């Protein structure tokens, strides 16, 4: 899909997010805005956005509702304005999207990884990059199996697990992932350094991240509403730009994401184990 066409479709969606009229945001209407057949629109939108138009609209509506949850009126009223015809309908959609109930999120007052409007010509996210040798790190973590990482963080934050682990102290949280190349499975864990885990450790495991050479990426400062997008774009930069040009290979092993939820600074540090490419000496 041409950039100008995609931009026109995204602008149309954003203008009508609060209108629940089928002739405005259904596939036929969006295909007409794009000047394409429905078949070609569906295929090209998914190729450009990475998801269907219906999923994009649902994610955008939920994100806008989250931003307005601080208003002094019932959450169901706000959800109704964005096309959710019942509280139950919105609750199911929110739980599916974020892995937690909206009431739990609102009660915890924590950050939530939202879905911002698709940027057709986004400013390139360039994190601060350094290389460093890290010593062995022992963590006390909650296993999250292969749950989508943003949902792991949502559960961890809304349930106050960091504070529970540390006995109420503020600590840097570590998200640890391991990708099994043979099966395509992703293991994900979140927790704190072992020495900081002075509280309730029920349901946790001990994880040792080995010493070695790591590439370290510091995400640019963000706000709560676009923190998730900045993290996503940083990973894209790492995968598509930094590694192809760096002279290094991604080494098998644990990769880390660290940040402090209580700081509300919305920056994250990413650690990836690396090794030199053989042809780079």
Average pLDDT over residues 91-119: 84
* pLDDT tops 70 at residue 279: no
* pLDDT tops 60 at residue 53: yes
* pLDDT tops 90 at residue 216: yes
Q: pLDDT value at position 262?
A: 73
Domain 3-108 has CATH 1.10.3720.10: no
Q: pLDDT value at position 69?
A: 82
* pLDDT tops 90 at residue 124: no
CB distance 132 to 212 below 8 Å: no
CB distance 136 to 208 below 8 Å: yes
pLDDT per position as a tens digit, 225-265 = 778 778 888 998 999 999 999 999 999 999 999 988 777 77
Average pLDDT over residues 170-175: 94
Q: pLDDT value at position 120?
A: 67
* pLDDT tops 60 at residue 164: yes
Q: pLDDT value at position 123?
A: 61
Q: pLDDT value at position 193?
A: 96
Element (H, E) at 156: helix 149-158
Structure-block tokens of residue 139 = 């963590």
What is the CA 242 to chain-centroid distance, rounded? 20
Which residues of the chain form CATH 3.20.80.10? 128-280
How far apart CA 197 and CA 191 sit, in angstroms, is 9
What three-state secondary structure class fits 208?
strand
pTM of the model: 0.77
Which residues of the chain form CATH 1.10.10.60? 3-108
pLDDT per position as a tens digit, 176-204 = 999 888 887 889 999 999 999 999 999 99
Residues paired with residue 207 on neighbouring β-strands, in sequence order = 139
Element (H, E) at 104: helix 102-108
Q: pLDDT value at position 174?
A: 96
Class assignment of domain 128-280?
Answer: alpha beta
Pairing, β 137-143 against β 205-209 = antiparallel
């Amino acid at each position: 899909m041409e950039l100008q066409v995609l931009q026109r479709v995204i602008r149309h969606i954003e203008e009508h997010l609060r209108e629940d009229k089928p002739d405005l945001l259904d596939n036929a209407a969006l295909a007409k805005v794009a000047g394409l057949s429905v078949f070609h629109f569906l295929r090209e939108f998914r190729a450009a956005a990475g998801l269907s138009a219906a999923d994009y609209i649902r994610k955008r509506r939920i994100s806008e509702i989250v931003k307005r949850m601080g208003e002094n009126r019932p959450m169901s009223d706000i959800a109704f304005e964005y096309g959710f015809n019942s509280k139950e309908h919105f609750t199911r959609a929110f739980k599916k999207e974020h892995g937690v109930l909206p009431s739990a999120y609102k009660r915890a007052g924590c950050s939530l990884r939202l879905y911002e409007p698709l940027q057709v010509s986004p400013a390139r996210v360039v994190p601060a990059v350094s290389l460093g040798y890290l010593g062995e790190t022992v963590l006390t973590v909650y296993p999250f199996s292969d749950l989508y990482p943003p949902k792991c963080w949502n559960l961890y934050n809304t349930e106050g697990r960091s504070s529970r682990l540390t006995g109420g102290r503020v600590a840097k949280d570590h998200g640890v992932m391991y990708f099994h190349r043979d099966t395509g499975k992703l293991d994900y864990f979140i927790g704190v350094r072992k020495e900081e885990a002075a509280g309730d450790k029920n349901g946790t495991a001990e994880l040792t991240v080995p010493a070695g050479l790591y590439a370290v990426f510091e995400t640019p400062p963000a706000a709560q509403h676009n923190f998730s997008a900045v993290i996503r774009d940083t990973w894209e930069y790492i995968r598509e730009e930094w590694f192809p040009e760096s002279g290094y290979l991604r080494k098998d092993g644990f990769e880390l994401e660290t940040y402090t939820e209580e700081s509300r600074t919305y920056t994250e540090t990413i650690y990836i184990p690396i090794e030199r490419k053989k042809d780079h000496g």
